[in-house]
Structure 1
Amino acid sequence: MELTGWRGSLYHYMDWALKLAYLNILWLIGIVIGAGIAGFFPSTVAMFSVLRKWAQDEGDELKVFVHFKNEYKREFLKSNKYGYSWAVLGLILYVDLQFFRGIPTIWALIVSLFFFILGAIYIVALLYAFPVYVQYKLTIKQYFRNCLLIVLSNPLFSVLMVLGFYFPYYLMIKIPGLLPFFGGSLISLVLMMISNKMFTNLEKNKKARESIS
């Protein structure tokens, strides 16, 4: 018998809470298995892959553990290369910004402002990094280009992505006991849902342009 009313709503939210907690535990186990440094990116990719299925209502028959394990193994090398490419890029931007901030001249101030803007774009693009990775099959260079284009061409969704990261993150800071169960999965779910909506809009716009031409 299907529950209705407040009982149905309560069951729905409890079911999602349990699924997210389970997925978060798998994510943490994946990180530990990879000794942290090699496990973070494939584990995160596997988590986003599961969330993508859920966000697109493809997860009714999904065997979460099996799917997570298969994605973790399949994407282990490529996801690490992808993730650490993002890390190196972020480090370069940070070092350049700090370098020019330490020079007390007008031109250095202008250059540091330029790197600050690049850093802000980088941070927002980073929020798209894993949703784009699990949505499309591209080269690493194409992933970077698409993330950048998405940020620049979809400012509204970019603002939503920042808010979608900030509010769950703020909740975790205020209630640290939630971290082991929802620290990664809740934030990732929000980012994946916003990204999935944006991907749908992009596909609709693409089809509309093709029909006109």
Structure 2
Amino acid sequence: METKGLMGGLYKITEWIMRIAGSNLYWVVCSSPILLLLVLGLNYVASTNMPIPFEIYMPMAVLAPFTLFPATAALFSVTRKWVMGETDLGITKLFFRSYKDNYKQSMLGGIFYTLLIVIMYVDYEVYMKQFKNMQILGIVMLVLLFFILLSLFNFFSLVAHFHMKVKMLIKNAILLTVLRPFRTLSTFLTAVVIGFITLKFTWLIPFGFATLIAWMAYFNFNIAYTKVQEKVERLRQVEEEGTEQADGEAGEDAESVVAELTEGEDKEKN
């Protein structure tokens, strides 16, 4: 019996490794144009000790909305199912169906985010290098850039979870980042740790780097969103009872986030 239980445990571990590696490999393939350019850029830095040239940044910025963003949204859709307890679904079918279904939303959102990131980065470079007396603005741009990058975790989670207009996806991604900063920061720190380990053991890149980050990001998003829902439900109960006393924080969350989120259709219902 012990041997049978051990074999069953090993089988489950192997199965999970295959799921993680499989979904991660699909992400790598679909994001390959960006990843290849990134590798070229890093090799250039290593060989010349110079920053990545504009000739590499430019095609990366152009291609990202059409490759990296849809691939990442599809990966989040896969990890969403795992977080929701649906672990027996076929990875290949789920990934590419999600890639197709979410392509327009993620592509349009990718265009917006890419343009915003490029503008903020250029502003940062200009203020820090060309206007020495305005470096404070460069620091502000850097902080805003970091914040926008953090909101991407919520953006991809929202794309995976809701049928919603792109404008609302972006708005709620930013609002959730403001209202639940520690959850988002914990996701970022996890991504940094996974990235550090991957840099040390580069052979891990095809086998779990992106999937593990997406899994943790959606896990944190799900907890944050559930808490917001609970606060809204308490607020609604107070309103139904006709009591004027309301939780100020719940009211703030309701007005700023969940009112918009409830307009979207939960993909779990489909």
The bucket for the TM-score relative to the shorter chain is: 0.7 to 0.9
Residue type of the alignment partner of 1:95: V
What's the offset of the Cα at 1:14? Answer: 3.1
Which structure would you say has the larger Rg? Answer: 2
2:100 is equivalent to residue 93 of structure 1: no
Task: Specify the alignment match of 1:21 in structure 2.
Answer: 21
- Residues 64 and 154 from structure 1, CA distance in 2 versus in 1: closer, same or farther, beyond 3 angstroms? same
Task: Please give the secondary structure, in 2, of the residue aligned with 1:122.
Answer: helix
Residue type of the alignment partner of 1:186: L
- Residues 124 and 14 from structure 1, CA distance in 2 versus in 1: closer, same or farther, beyond 3 angstroms? same
Task: Specify the alignment match of 2:132 in structure 1.
Answer: 104
Report the Cα distance in structure 1 between the residues aligned to 2:203 and 2:104, rounded to whole angstroms: 32
Residue type of the alignment partner of 1:87: T
Report the Cα distance in structure 1 between the residues aligned to 2:31 and 2:138, rounded to whole angstroms: 35
Gaps of 5+ in 2: 37-62, 240-270
- Residues 8 and 198 from structure 1, CA distance in 2 versus in 1: closer, same or farther, beyond 3 angstroms? farther
What's the offset of the Cα at 1:34? Answer: 11
Q: Report percent identity of matched pairs.
A: 23
Higher-RCO chain (CA-CA 8 Å, sequence separation at least 6) = 1
Report the Cα distance in structure 2 between the residues aligned to 1:34 and 1:100, rounded to whole angstroms: 28
| Counterpart mapping for 1:192-211 below 5 A | 192-211=218-237
Number of residue-to-residue matches in the alignment = 209
- Residues 131 and 112 from structure 1, CA distance in 2 versus in 1: closer, same or farther, beyond 3 angstroms? same
Task: Say whether the 8 Å CA contact 2:105–2:165 is kept in structure 1.
Answer: no
2:83 is equivalent to residue 42 of structure 1: no
Q: Which of 69, 77, 97 is residue 96 of structure 2 equivalent to?
A: 69
Task: Say whether the 8 Å CA contact 2:22–2:207 is kept in structure 1.
Answer: yes
Q: Once superposed, which parts of structure 1, at least 4 consecutive aligned residues long, lie more than 6 Å away?
A: 33-36
C-alpha RMSD of the superposition: 2.6
Report the Cα distance in structure 2 between the residues aligned to 1:55 and 1:174, rounded to whole angstroms: 28
What's the offset of the Cα at 1:55? Answer: 0.6
Task: Say whether the 8 Å CA contact 2:109–2:170 is kept in structure 1.
Answer: no
What's the offset of the Cα at 1:13? Answer: 3.5
What's the offset of the Cα at 1:73? Answer: 1.8
What's the offset of the Cα at 1:135? Answer: 1.6
Report the Cα distance in structure 1 between the residues aligned to 2:238 and 2:195, rounded to whole angstroms: 43
Residue type of the alignment partner of 2:20: L
Task: Say whether the 8 Å CA contact 1:169–1:187 is kept in structure 2.
Answer: no
Q: Which of 168, 176, 192 is residue 194 of structure 2 equivalent to?
A: 168
Report the TM-score when normalising by structure 1: 0.86
Task: Specify the alignment match of 1:178 in structure 2.
Answer: 204
Report the Cα distance in structure 2 between the residues aligned to 1:12 and 1:208, rounded to whole angstroms: 40
